A and B are shown apart, each in its own frame.
Chain A
Amino acid sequence: MSGSEKTNEPDTVDRQLAMVIDLNKCLGCQTCTVACKKLWNRDAGTDYAYWNNVETQPGKGYPALWPETGGRSGAGEVKRGEVPDLDSGYGRAWDFNHRAAFESAAKPAGEKAWLQPNEEAHWGANWDEDRGAGHYPEDNHYFYLPRLCNHCTHPACLNACPRHAIYKDKRNGIVLVDQDSCHGYRFCVEACPYKKVYFDPMRQVTTKCLFCLPRIEEGVPMACARQCPGRLRFVGYRDDPEGPIWKLVEKWKVALPLHPEYGLAPNVFYLPPLSPPKLDAAGRPTAEPRIPMYHLESLFGETVGAALETLRSERRKRRRGEPSELMDILIAYDWHKSFALSSEHEVSR
């Protein structure tokens, strides 16, 4: 990148850029996924790769069952992980019968070629969308989990690379791959428990989310955050007490890292989803939320209950007509305020 300053010592960064994602507002529209994909990953070797994906929880995720390998041990050591494959892990980018479907558009229904993959499809990035878990009407539930590289404070990918090809940009803590140094060994792919380093098998190098560094350098937020119609992504620096990140993570303590137990100290945080109550056998609401607490705790750790309680209590305040800084931030009346990138840059684009 134009002015990136490399450091292989993650603790020496000057500042850390971060993102907060409010899961209570995610529509699952995949606008973020498409915005990212169109910008960065259109080549043959990255056709399967989604630096940003939105998966349905509970679900297998992308790549399938991603949270099962890698991460750090209690002692901070990076654990052995696996490299997912295209067939059972990521899912291949299918070829579609676009021409046949287009050419038959004017034909009667029985003779139309409907748009479909040319080969039989078994698995893909969003295969289990909206399936979720539970039983209708008692406790069926699901929510959307947008995922991207966490630009971790202690990145496993960086530690795993024997060539020091992965580094942090000292100015903002963004984790980057120097593709000139990368020899495609994929130890980083193995070690990242979030599976957010991708291998480009055509170019034989790894690629990953760069937090849209060229946009950040211009004071413009990442494509996924800027394009989100739900206005649910917040971007800024961890140490800016006036910015949304510090307020949501440090002050209100409602934004939590995904899988804190991996020990990587992620810099993407999530507001956990509230959910309506479960119903009892007679169809009456119970005191239990539909999304089981054990599932949320397995994703966001044991402080998730306290974060949900803060959200509920601030919502109640707002309903009573009382002021709530937290609700004002989350409602995002003025989207400019969701992004606090740099005092020199007015975020207007």
Chain B
Amino acid sequence: MRKTFDLIAAPAGTEPGDYVPRVYAARNLPATSSATLEVQHGDAGWRVSLGWHCPDPVRDASGNTNLFVDAAALLAPTVADAQWITMGAPDKAVEGALWRADREELLRIRAEGLGTVKRQQPPNHWKAHSDWSEARWSVTFELASWPALDDHNQLAFAIWRGAAADRGGLKAIVPQWIAVEP
């Protein structure tokens, strides 16, 4: 499948703590308004590509204290009724891969609710390629095996635009799980 999705700002109001929900309440427009998703499934496993407009890429945030890197994540439910918008819930995890513009390797991520994301080393066979040209990021995730997606055939993604100080729950997301072909 190949399709362009309109994105929404992840609702800051449900973030944990009493700071982000209140001070970022007005941030209700996504810093990235749409993205194109392409999903292929074959002998080599899952190949998922994301492309989005980004006029001001941030590839490296090590040079200053107020820089945030561009990033994107793919997530899938680990049980049938895990919610996407809440990043799962206790015992209803979501899991997937995080790409950051400042790293070559992906990170494996897993969450059981907002604010609970854990980052881990990914399986060896998870790879990513990224390219920025003509004000556009193209990121391809090659995941030879991803049981959560195999089992549930549902996928969602998030995009963080560093130049807009996106981080954590301040991100552009697809509003709901996307059904993918097995």
Q: Which A residues have a C-beta under 8 Å from some C-beta of B?
A: 45, 48, 77-80, 83-87, 89-90, 156, 159-164, 183-187, 189, 191, 198-199, 201-202, 204
Contact = CB atoms under 8 A, between A and B. Distances in A.
B65 A159 contact: no
A195 to B, nearest CB: 11
Contacts of B17: 159-162, 164, 187
Interface centre among A85, A156, A162, A185 (most CB of B within 10 A): A162
B61 A162 contact: no
B119 interface: yes
Interface in B129-182: 167-169
A24 B65 CA distance: 34
B131 to A, nearest CB: 23
Interface in B98-130: 114-117, 119
Nearest to B115: A162
Contacts of A164: 16-17, 115
A83 B64 CA distance: 10
Contact of A85 (B20, B66, B168, B169): B66
Nearest to B23: A80
Q: What band does the interface of chain B fall in when counting residues whose beta carbon is under 8 Å from A?
A: 20 to 34
Given A183-B119, A185-B167, A85 B65 contact: yes
A186 B168 CA distance: 10
* Chain B binding surface, main DSSP class: loop
Interface string B66-90: 1100000000000000000000000
A159 B16 CA distance: 9
A347 B169 CA distance: 46
Contacts of A191: 19
29 contacts: A77-B18, A78-B18, A78-B19, A83-B66, A86-B65, A90-B65, A159-B18, A159-B19, A160-B19, A162-B15, A162-B20, A162-B114, A162-B115, A163-B16, A163-B115, A163-B116, A164-B16, A164-B115, A183-B117, A183-B119, A185-B168, A187-B168, A191-B19, A201-B62, A201-B63, A201-B64, A201-B67, A202-B62, A204-B61
B22 interface: yes
Given A79-B23, A162-B16, A162-B114, 11 more contacts: A77-B18, A78-B18, A83-B66, A86-B64, A160-B17, A162-B19, A163-B16, A164-B115, A184-B167, A191-B19, A198-B65
* Chain A binding surface, main DSSP class: loop
A201 B102 CA distance: 12
B24 to A, nearest CB: 8
Interface in B50-64: 61-64
A-B pairs, top 8 by smallest CB distance, nearest first, are A160-B19, A80-B23, A185-B168, A83-B66, A85-B66, A162-B115, A162-B16, A185-B167
Contacts of B115: 162-164
B168 to A, nearest CB: 4
B107 to A, nearest CB: 11
A165 to B, nearest CB: 9
Contacts of A161: 17, 19
Interface centre among A159, A161, A163, A186 (most CB of B within 10 A): A163
A89 B65 contact: yes
B64 A162 contact: no
Contacts of B167: 183-186
Nearest to A83: B66
B83 to A, nearest CB: 17
A187 B19 contact: yes
Nearest to B17: A162
